[in-house]
Amino acid sequence: MRSRVLAPTYHPPVGRSPLRIVSYNVRYFGHALKGLASTRMSQRGIARRLAALEPLADAVCLQEIETISIRSRVAFRGRRPAETQLACFMREVDTAFASDARVSPYEGFYFRAHVNQLRGVPIYTTGLAILVNTRRLRVDHHNVEAPEHITYHRVERWKDRKQTRICAHMKVSTPGGPLHVFNTHLSLPTPFAREFWSARMRMGWGPNQLHEARTLAAFVRRHARGQPFVVCGDFNAAPSSPVFRFLTDEAGFKSAQATAGQIDASDPYSFPTAGFMRLRMHLDHVFYGNGVALVDLDGTSRFGDKRGIFAGLSDHVPLIGRFRV
């Protein structure tokens, strides 16, 4: 039997009203059709759950958001011409709030990452999004027009064929001061490295992933400049992986789930955040630092827990945390 190291008792800080932050890989809202195409049903379900959170999230970081493509359009009816997937989702968010006579406080920002085309027709696209609660936060800066590229290209001549990985950055003003919000989605481990075939564990063990983690950490350090930050995303890396250890040990990021005792950093299978059939994986993380303090992770559920508020809406579950700046 594998021994487990119990986390010390966590005592949340007291003080200002905390900020609630959500990180969620929504799988381009295609879970209802097993990833074949996006559906309005998936968008509506996630929008309703976000509107039902109490308290509401102040920032929502979404991964795997489409721009416009065949995959994002084929199952939609009545979609407006040239409407992006985020714009369509924001209409569902507005509708979810209007259903009980509320006005949505969210403004959506889209960060374009990658497009695969066939004769000029986009087959599928990828990107990130950040939804901001404008009643609580003021956006001071963002890199929507030029998200930071963090993709590691082992073979330079193939770089145009590899899916681009980016980091979205937004600086906001909060009641407690400035906060930098970073949102990212790291690559899968490359099968072209020897480690992929020789190691038993893979998610977070890829040398390409470690390169991207280093690039990400440098970008965070360069733009946060000692100010409070949170880093959300799908890292495709388990808690015990070299990627996770680099970010927490060398880069100095604090893991929200490790702080709260939700995960055992030595156990790659603890608290799964994603799944495929019977396979369970921990791939998603929220990190923080420079004076940010974790309050709780209320609302965060294991993948496969049918009691979770977002159960069955994606092949990932959201991480939901409250923080004080």
9 is a domain residue: no
12 is a domain residue: no
pLDDT digits (tens, 9 = 90+) for 73-99: 444 555 555 578 899 999 999 999 999
18 preceded by a cis bond (ω within 30 of 0): no
Q: Please state the domain count of the chain.
A: 1
Query: Which tokens sit at 68?
Result: 């416009």
Mean model confidence pLDDT for the chain: 84
Q: Which range has highest mean pLDDT (35-39, 49-53, 109-113)?
A: 49-53
Q: What is the pLDDT of residue 71?
A: 43
pLDDT digits (tens, 9 = 90+) for 130-140: 999 999 999 99
pLDDT bin (cut points 50, 70, 90) of residue 276 is confident
Query: Which tokens sit at 142?
Result: 């963002």
Residue where the block lists tokens 């759950």? 49
85 is a domain residue: yes
Evaluate if residue 68 carries a pLDDT over 70.
Answer: no
Residue percentage of the chain with pLDDT more than 70: 77
Query: Which tokens sit at 44?
Result: 């509506």
Q: What is the pLDDT of residue 147?
A: 95
Query: Which tokens sit at 276?
Result: 């495929």
Burial of 111 (0-12, 13-18, 19+ CB in 10 A): buried
pLDDT bin (cut points 50, 70, 90) of residue 114 is low
7 is a domain residue: no
Query: Which tokens sit at 176?
Result: 């407690």
CA 179/CA 129 separation, integer angstroms? 17
CA 130/CA 279 separation, integer angstroms? 29
Cα end-to-end distance, the chain, whole Å: 40
Evaluate if residue 160 carries a pLDDT over 50.
Answer: no
307 is a domain residue: yes
CATH number for the domain including 154? 3.60.10.10
β-strand 148-149 against 254-255: which pairing, if any?
unpaired
2 is a domain residue: no
Q: Which of 60-64, 175-179, 184-188, 195-199 is least confident?
A: 195-199
Burial 124-141 (b: 16+ CB within 10 A, else e): bbbbbbbbbbeebbebee
Q: What is the pLDDT of residue 78?
A: 52
187 is a domain residue: yes
